Amino acid sequence: MESFKLLIIILLSSVLVDNYVLSRFLGICPFLGVSKKIDQAVGMGVAVTVVMLLATAATWPIQKFVLDTLGLGYLQNIAFILIIATLVQILELVLKKFSPSLYKGLGVYLPLITTNCAVLGVTINNIIDGYSFIESMVSSLGCGLGFLLAMVLFSGIRSRIDDTKVPAPFRGLAVTLIAASFISLAFMGFSGIVESIFA
């Protein structure tokens, strides 16, 4: 029961409190690039979530059983990048074979996940936080859902910005960044909330 409670805490805090985009400022590139339309934002969010889960499932054993046992912890970054890139390639091949419609829908965003720093961030943070395998997977799921949430919220806001008359100096990226900072501020309000729910 106690461990189940811990998993819930990890899940909720990685979705809301430590949101990768809005609190840790990782994965900003797709957050700004692919949030123009809500359907693309959802597609990207789901794809990132799947890749995060796969990447954690692959990198955690590599870190624990290969790198740590050989005392090669410093190879973490380069090894993880390699593994994530491989996974994305394989995922692309599998999707192309079994779900051409989803493959088409995600289009160029799928290979772009290779360079998404949020994925690398999740896998490395799971090691730093000393999570067990199950905890790591739950944390990755939470981070992916948090990314999805941020993407969907922001694409909604951006569609509203498109219909608004923005003063000339703020048009385009400027007003987008200001809007992003407001959502980020709003998410700061979640800090401490999960711990107090289960206190």
- Please check whether residue 44 is in contact with residue 109, taking contact to mean a CB–CB distance below 8 angstroms: yes
For residue 178, the minimal CB distance to other proteins (Å) is 19
- Please identify, using beta-carbon distances, which residue of 89 and 132 lies nearer to other proteins: 89
Q: CB 115 → other proteins: shortest distance, Å?
A: 16
Per-residue burial over 41-73, b if 16 or more Cβ lie within 10 Å, else e, is: bebbbbbbbbbbbbbbebbbebbeeebeeeeee
Residue 10 vs 113, nearer CB to other proteins = 113
Q: Phi and psi of 117, rounded to 5°? A: -70, -20
Query: Integer distance in angstroms from the first to the last C-alpha of the chain?
Result: 15
Minimum distance from CB of 97 to other proteins (Å)?
A: 4
Complex with other proteins: residue 99 or 181, whichever CB lies closer: 99
Least spacing, CB of residue 114 vs other proteins, in Å: 12
Taking the least distance from each CB to other proteins, the nearer of 4 and 97 is: 97
How far out from the chain centre does Cα 161 lie?
24
Nearest 5°: phi and psi at 58?
A: -90, -40
Tokens representing residue 16 in the block: 């809301």
CA distance 184 to 163: 22
Residue 79 CB, shortest distance to other proteins, in Å, is 6
Residue closer to other proteins, measured from CB, 166 or 183: 166
**Interacting residues toward other proteins by CB under 8 A:** 62, 66-67, 70, 72, 75, 78-79, 82-83, 85-86, 89-90, 93-94, 96-98, 100, 163, 165
